[in-house]
Amino acid sequence: MRITAEIERRGAWLFRWRSLLPLAVLALFAIDLSQLKAPFASTTFHEGWEFVCLLISIVGLFVR
């Protein structure tokens, strides 16, 4: 039963901070994005890859 209590405790913590955690992740993402370089030194490949990833994300949202 101790593991169940630990899972509940962590779940309660995540639920409590659910609105602020994405902001922390967003800040880390912004820092990483500032050091971004195009893969294979090609911006067209990079933009195409972003478009494919965006489409996959949107399809996932519609499926959900």
Q: Tell me whether residue 46 is exposed, middle or buried, using C-beta atoms within 10 angstroms of its C-beta: 0 to 12, 13 to 18, 19 or more.
A: middle
Q: What is the reported pLDDT for 7?
A: 92
Show me where the domains of the chain are located: 1-33, 37-64
pTM > 0.85: yes or no: no
Question: Which residue is listed with tokens 């090609």?
Answer: 42
* CA pair distance 19, 29, nearest whole angstrom: 16
7-60 pLDDT tens trace: 999 999 888 888 888 888 888 888 887 777 766 667 777 788 889 999 999 999
pLDDT surpassing 70 at residue 1 = no
* CA pair distance 9, 3, nearest whole angstrom: 10
pLDDT surpassing 70 at residue 4 = yes
